Amino acid sequence: MLLSLFLIAAITAGGLALTYLISDEDPLMFRIASGCVIGSAVFGTVGFVAASIVGLTPLSAAIVFIIALSPLLIFRNTKRRKSFAADRNRAKNLVQGESFRRLWPFAYYAFFFLLFLFFFERAMFIRDGAIMTGGSNNLGDLPFHLGAIFSFTEGNNFPPINPNFDGAKFSYPFIADLITAYFVKLGADVRDAMLVQNIAWAFSLLVILERFVFKLVKDKLTARIAPFLLFFSGGLGFVWFFSDWAAQSKGFFEFLFALPKDYTIGPDMRWGNSLITLFLTQRSLLLGMPITLIVLGFLWETFVTHGTEKSEKKIKSGWSWFLFPYFLVGILAGLLPLIHLHSLFVLFVVTAFLSALRRDQWATWLSFGIGVCLIAVPELVWSMSGSATRASEFVGRHFGWDSGETNLIWFWIKNTGMFIPLIAAGAYFVWKQLKLSEAVEPEPAIKGKKETKTKTSKAKETVPIKARSLLYFYIPFALLFVGSNLFKCAPWEWDNIKILIYWWVGSIPLVAYAIAALWRQSGVVKVFAGVFFAVLILSGSLDVFRTISKQVNYTVFDKDAVEIAEAIRTRTAPDSLVLSAPTYNTAVVLSGRRSVMRYPGHLSSHGIDYAGREDDVRKIYSGGPAADELLTKYGIDLVLFGPEITNFAKDRNRPFTLNEEHFKKYQVLTATAKYRIYKIK
């Protein structure tokens, strides 16, 4: 654990240094959070290039680690050192003193840190030699990520071939898992590395989201409300919770500690709490979202400061220096194709809209675009060439997202509760601020007259937000929502949530602003603010509580699977190809060896046509002359028999007869009580 903490801290230090090339005004805590994800992105991308050239070895890992630290050389510049010292002193002043008010921020961040610690601790744990998960939606995703990590560390899979579908390029955004692989290669335990990274990235997302919302609305209360709306997201599932409780005989707390299901995801609910369905299962989003929010915050500042005295002063300092941060932020965005591709798509939509509104800022948009293309285009070209993914599977008409036969209006009310009405309320409060600012006419300036406090200055005190710009800024996020209800952006329509979650995040400033505005009223209106807030987070809180209270315990790999995987890892070549049951938890995952084919659900969601290969897997396990021909065709080294292939053969839709006798002519490499593996060549 200590090694993983040291590695993430060092990477964060390098990323923190880079933030001083982008912005001069952000607080230290935001810089640390940004440094964590920026440093991780740089570390993973440089690591991918290095490993593709020389492989993943302890030496190459150490070199990549040193490169990730190299941005610290920025502090050789006196101006940068002074800026860092000033930020550090400001941060120190904020926490010094014994004022009770100073304890609130500490309690706020401590709450979320402990939440992330107890939550992500359940992503993977070991019990009696078995690998388990406490995430209700992580049963299939944990082995997918472990398969990627071990293919890097044990299979030296570079340039990456899809470990789930041999012969195809690994085009899934894998940088998050590659970072874990590097930690493991440097000596860290895989579980510790995943845990430390998940907590660090989640906490960074908390801080970056809070800062992003504050930049938009200039209100601390609104910014503090925002993370609750993301991490405890949900709809009206709590209604089903109370219904289930009333239908049985247990006491309330007894039922609370034995929840029968999740209340944000299931047959009745499809939105899913973000921690349960996204950040625990999709590590790429956990790294990609905070990076995207850093870029969005920078684009917002560009959008609202153009033509102001502040921007004019920067321009006078030199065009090259003025445009350099836009180029750097573009490079940061350009890293996203191998981190989280859907995040890059969101940035494309938002940037296209903003640049259309601010065409006079063509130089800044061009600098940003050049930075993006410099990294993103080569990554996309590499990813798409030789990939088995069919691009046509990712785009198509599909109405209503995952609503099925449910009325679309009721579907969204049920899944998001008060969220959409509060978007409208937030927009109304912003519109009121806009009208207030428009109602105040500035007094004409008199040359040579000393400036006095005018109606205009009072209006600026009353209207701290850029109201008109905020309403414009929200439009592309609303378009993402509409588009995701008209088209699918993935082979599996539910995966549109990778886009819809950004509609949610883009809407959070308006929703939180509405709640804060209501809370500042008196009497019953304040009560309504509390009720609305509770309704927004109650269902998500139930699901998160179900996880951290250890009510979910799924065995992903039992003790025998771990043992057979270790035998494969230690007694076969790193590039061995293994035939096993096409399932998510085949023991081959833990060995780091390539599989002919794994879980069809993962393959189909990545746009891979697996049907023909699945038929061949059935033919091989059925034995006979066709089996020998296919073993040669695919170049299979090992064939695994165990409970997974037995269950696969009993598939009620397409059962077939296993013929293990056919393979007894081959050497048994190793066997356990449940598994036998035959060495074909």
Residues 124-149 pLDDT 10s? 999 999 999 999 999 999 999 999 99
**Rounded Cα–Cα distance for residues 103 and 97 (Å):** 10
Omega before residue 444 within 30° of 0, cis = no
Residue 313: its pLDDT value, please?
53
**Rounded Cα–Cα distance for residues 200 and 192 (Å):** 12
Percent of the chain at pLDDT > 90 equals 83
Q: Tell me how far apart the 2 most distant CA atoms of the chain are, in Å.
A: 101
- Minimum mean pLDDT among 130-134, 342-346, 360-364, 523-527: which range? 360-364
Residues 297-326 pLDDT 10s? 999 998 887 555 555 555 445 445 568 999
Residues 541-565 pLDDT 10s? 999 999 999 999 999 999 999 999 9
Residues 175-227 pLDDT 10s? 999 999 999 999 999 999 999 999 999 999 999 999 999 999 999 999 999 99
Mean pLDDT of 528-536: 97
Residues 224-268 pLDDT 10s? 999 999 999 999 999 999 999 999 999 999 999 999 999 999 988
E-strand stretches of 193-264: none
Does the pLDDT at position 3 exceed 80? yes
Closest to 116 (Cα-Cα) out of 548, 536, 538, 537 = 548
Mean pLDDT of 529-548: 98
Encoding tokens for residue 317? 């300092």
Encoding tokens for residue 655? 């059962």
Does the pLDDT at position 8 exceed 90? yes
Residues 58-104 pLDDT 10s? 999 999 999 999 999 999 999 999 999 999 999 888 777 666 677 88
Reported confidence tier of residue 494, pLDDT bands at 50, 70, 90: very high
**Rounded Cα–Cα distance for residues 292 and 307 (Å):** 25
Residue 439: its pLDDT value, please?
63
**Rounded Cα–Cα distance for residues 616 and 587 (Å):** 20
Contact 605, 490 (CB under 8 A): yes
Residue 25: its pLDDT value, please?
85
Reported confidence tier of residue 388, pLDDT bands at 50, 70, 90: confident
Strand partners, 396: 488
Rounded to two decimals, the pTM is 0.94
Question: Cα-flanking dihedrals φ and ψ of residue 35, to 5°?
Answer: -60, -35
E-strand stretches of 512-666: 554-557, 577-579, 594-595, 638-641
Residues 411-465 pLDDT 10s? 999 999 999 999 999 999 999 988 777 665 444 443 444 444 444 444 443 445 7
Residues 647-672 pLDDT 10s? 999 988 899 999 999 999 999 999 99
Question: Cα-flanking dihedrals φ and ψ of residue 271, to 5°?
Answer: -70, -55
Query: How far is residue 664 from each of residues 498, 622, 661, measured CA to CA in Å?
Result: 47, 13, 5
**Rounded Cα–Cα distance for residues 39 and 129 (Å):** 34
Residue 361: its pLDDT value, please?
85
Mean pLDDT score of the chain, rounded to an integer?
A: 92
Residue 100: its pLDDT value, please?
65
**Rounded Cα–Cα distance for residues 354 and 432 (Å):** 23
**Rounded Cα–Cα distance for residues 614 and 276 (Å):** 31
Residue 458: its pLDDT value, please?
41
Residue 562: its pLDDT value, please?
97
Residue 442: its pLDDT value, please?
45
Task: Give start and end residues of each alpha helix (H) in 335-388.
Answer: 341-357, 362-384
